[in-house]
Chains A and B, each alone.
Chain A
Amino acid sequence: MNRAWRARNHPAYWAFLVHRLSGLALAVFLPAHFLVLGQALRGEAGLEGALRWTDSPLVKVAEIAIVVLLAAHLTGGVRMLALEFLPWRDWQKSLAALAAGATVLFGLAFALALVGGG
């Protein structure tokens, strides 16, 4: 294992990385999201075209990734609030594990709904 990573290889650092990277990825996604929604300003046809494009399987799979990113960022944020505002307990690693578990749950639920619904 790389030495620089060895010092950082602990659950709280992973939680930090996941929270930060998911936030950055969502920040990159948001303008694209608004761009698609903005097609409505040019009329129904433009929006319809964009929405049809989102029906492609690749975009559907990417949607799961977006939901996982959202869930990771949300649960990471809740973890952070609990850590900073609740009285300190020796449960910080459990908190990170809980956030990770909830993220996977959200992702799976969405993926299953997509498959079941599709």
Chain B
Amino acid sequence: MSASLLQVRVWRGGATGAFRSYEVPRRESQTVLDVVTYIQRRLEPGLAYRFACRVGMCGSCAMTVNGVARWTCRTHVAKAVVHDTLEIAPLANLPVIRDLVTDMREFFDKWARAKGRFVPTATRRDDFAVVCPDRPERRAADAAIECIGCGVCYASCDVVRWNPAYLGPAALNRAWTLVNDVRDGDHRTRLAAVAGDAGCHACHTQMGCTERCPKEIAPTASIAGLKRATARAAVKGEL
């Protein structure tokens, strides 16, 4: 640890605003969320930010730290700091409500637009579905299922920035898990939903999502899977 004080610049305001500087004592094993919490509790009580679980499960504390989208509760200052300075901003590609809080509605609305809801084919009176863990579909769903909806991938995606209608990596990743769910009853509608101009084929494979996902999911792999699945469906005349 080179300095006892961190220079922290935090975004204040909405879409228009400015960075304000604070000095925060450097601590061992300090996370970026610890820094933001220190500022709110000791220096700037009016600072708005989101967090809940603090252990990387809820996906609510993602912010832009020195230009990179990160989950702040599991990001040590040592990993993100540059010359004893942190610049903390709200997530990119989402409207800013105030300070570090973004409006996530569009992000989650896109999950709905990608038909990210399970459509059951059985009732409560049916027996449990048996899905073999070794089936390729199950393995593909497993690889993508741990998404916590933090929005880091969405904020790291240039295609979202260029094409605001683009469904984005998280929604497409969710769709891919359901395309591989053998119990789901509406694959065709889902594939049609993700096959349009704003769907999987809009991805430029820059892999920012895969690079930044804190859960180490590869949305690029899910999107590639959707591209193959939609192409197959189109050839069969199902789209």
Binding site for B on A (CB under 8 A): 2-8, 10, 12-13, 16, 80, 83-85, 88, 92
Taking CB atoms, residues of chain B closer than 8 Å to A13 are 206-208, 211
B210 with A83: CB separation less than 8 A: no
A84 with B227: CB separation less than 8 A: yes
Taking CB atoms, residues of chain A closer than 8 Å to B69 are 7
Contact of A7 among B67, B218, B220 (CB under 8 A): B67
Binding site for A on B (CB under 8 A): 66-69, 87, 143, 156, 158, 204-208, 210-212, 218, 220-221, 224-225, 227-228
Provide a sorted-by-A list of 22 A–B residue pairs whose CB atoms are within 8 angstroms: A7-B67, A7-B156, A8-B158, A10-B208, A12-B206, A12-B207, A12-B208, A12-B220, A13-B207, A13-B208, A16-B204, A16-B205, A16-B206, A83-B205, A83-B224, A84-B224, A85-B224, A85-B228, A88-B143, A88-B221, A88-B224, A88-B225
A10 with B207: CB separation less than 8 A: yes
B68 with A84: CB separation less than 8 A: no
Taking CB atoms, residues of chain B closer than 8 Å to A88 are 143, 218, 221, 224-225
B68 with A6: CB separation less than 8 A: yes
Say whether, besides A16-B204, A16-B205, A84-B205, A10 and B211 are in contact (CB < 8 Å): yes
Closest Cβ neighbor of A86 among chain B residues: B224
12 more contacts with CB within 8 A, not counting A5-B67, A7-B68, A84-B224, are A2-B67, A6-B66, A6-B67, A6-B68, A7-B212, A12-B220, A13-B206, A16-B207, A84-B205, A85-B224, A88-B143, A88-B221
A3 with B66: CB separation less than 8 A: yes
Closest Cβ neighbor of B67 among chain A residues: A3
A12 with B67: CB separation less than 8 A: no
Say whether, besides A3-B66, A6-B66, A88-B218, A80 and B208 are in contact (CB < 8 Å): no
Taking CB atoms, residues of chain B closer than 8 Å to A16 are 204-207
State the CA gap A92–B224 with chains docked (Å).
13
State the CA gap A101–B109 with chains docked (Å).
42
User: Sorted from nearest, which 10 A-B pairs have the closest CB atoms?
Assistant: A3-B67, A12-B207, A88-B221, A6-B67, A16-B206, A10-B211, A84-B224, A7-B68, A7-B67, A13-B206
Residue from B207, B212, B225 having most chain A Cβ neighbours under 10 A: B207
Closest Cβ neighbor of B155 among chain A residues: A7
Taking CB atoms, residues of chain A closer than 8 Å to B66 are 3, 6
State the CA gap A12–B69 with chains docked (Å).
17
Closest Cβ neighbor of A10 among chain B residues: B211
Taking CB atoms, residues of chain B closer than 8 Å to A92 are 207, 210, 220
Contact of B205 among A3, A4, A5, A80 (CB under 8 A): A80
State the CA gap A16–B87 with chains docked (Å).
27
What distance in Å separates the Cβ of A89 from its nearest Cβ neighbour in chain B?
9
What distance in Å separates the Cβ of A71 from its nearest Cβ neighbour in chain B?
19
What distance in Å separates the Cβ of A62 from its nearest Cβ neighbour in chain B?
29
State the CA gap A8–B156 with chains docked (Å).
8
Closest Cβ neighbor of A14 among chain B residues: B206
Taking CB atoms, residues of chain B closer than 8 Å to A10 are 207-208, 211
State the CA gap A88–B205 with chains docked (Å).
13
State the CA gap A83–B66 with chains docked (Å).
30
What distance in Å separates the Cβ of A8 from its nearest Cβ neighbour in chain B?
7
State the CA gap A118–B86 with chains docked (Å).
55
